[in-house]
Structure 1
Amino acid sequence: MSEARNVTADDFAEWYAEAFVEIRRAVTLAVGDADLGEEATAEAFAKALVHWPKVRRADSRRAWVYRVALNEARSRFRRLRLERRYLQRRRAEGELHHPPPEEPDTALWRAVSGLPPRTRTAVVLRYVADLSVAEVAEAMGVATGSVSATLHHARKRLAQVLSEEPKGAER
């Protein structure tokens, strides 16, 4: 059974290597957007792999993938159009007016931007995005204890840096 499975997988891999570039190029030209063409083609090939026993026997594998890719692109266009209409309606009803964010304190912003990336991310998620420690841990994919320790060290470092800030510095 596994030998048959490998032959099928090898068959798909060979066909994919042969057909992907041509199909992506055609789909991209058809939809007029390189990113969308790439994504729709990749999605179509992923579906072809899932349905490979059926696609492999199709009269035209390429036609099957073109159809799936173009349908995927149309679906994305429809979703984007619906999202735009929804946002326009919400704006017209005044529901999407958000005041601009406050400018951050310059010294504090400088101090935070000087932190290592992981530490800076934890600080921003906790104190700017106002996530709980557990939510920060989930968003960063680490343990809550790691977040707590990171934030503890960050607060100490920020206090040190901000206390060294010359008096009268730009705020």
Structure 2
Amino acid sequence: MFSTLQEYHQAIISAAWMITLSLIPQDLVRAGAILLGFLICLQTIRPRILMKTLQLRLSSLEEKLQDAVDTGIMRRSDTSFINQFVRDMGRIRYMIFDLHERTLMTSGGIFQEMKAVWEGLSLEINECIRDVDALERNLEINRAKILKNHYHLWR
């Protein structure tokens, strides 16, 4: 039946695994799957990870703002857009400093992070990420309007 000793050992190991897996109750497998799903979900809503995402988005916004200033787009923008943009940018920076401070206070361990998630810190960070994205979108819309008006004169 078995041509080599190695095949015999593999068959024994395979049978042992089949017996072991058949002894594990279905509920235990389900509980393990739920726990694994919870851990993956927790990893995506951890405040420290979300703060890194927020800081990357803010850096992207600041690069686009610097580009708009360097190319003269902001100089050609209307004053109401610039004033609103400056107010929004200041509000977002204040929120980021506050969220960063609160995130650093939860860096004592996973249970402190879970408590912070429960208290809504991750939701606030996600809201701030959406605000940064909206501000970046407004900057791009303004840039497109300015460029369209600039090239419209060439027609």
Q: Same fold (TM over 0.5)?
A: no
Using CA pairs under 8 Å that are at least 6 residues apart, name the structure with larger relative contact order, 1 or 2.
Answer: 2
When normalised by structure 1's length, the TM-score is 0.28
Question: Which of structures 1 and 2 has the bigger CA Rg?
Answer: 2
Higher helix content, 1 or 2: 2
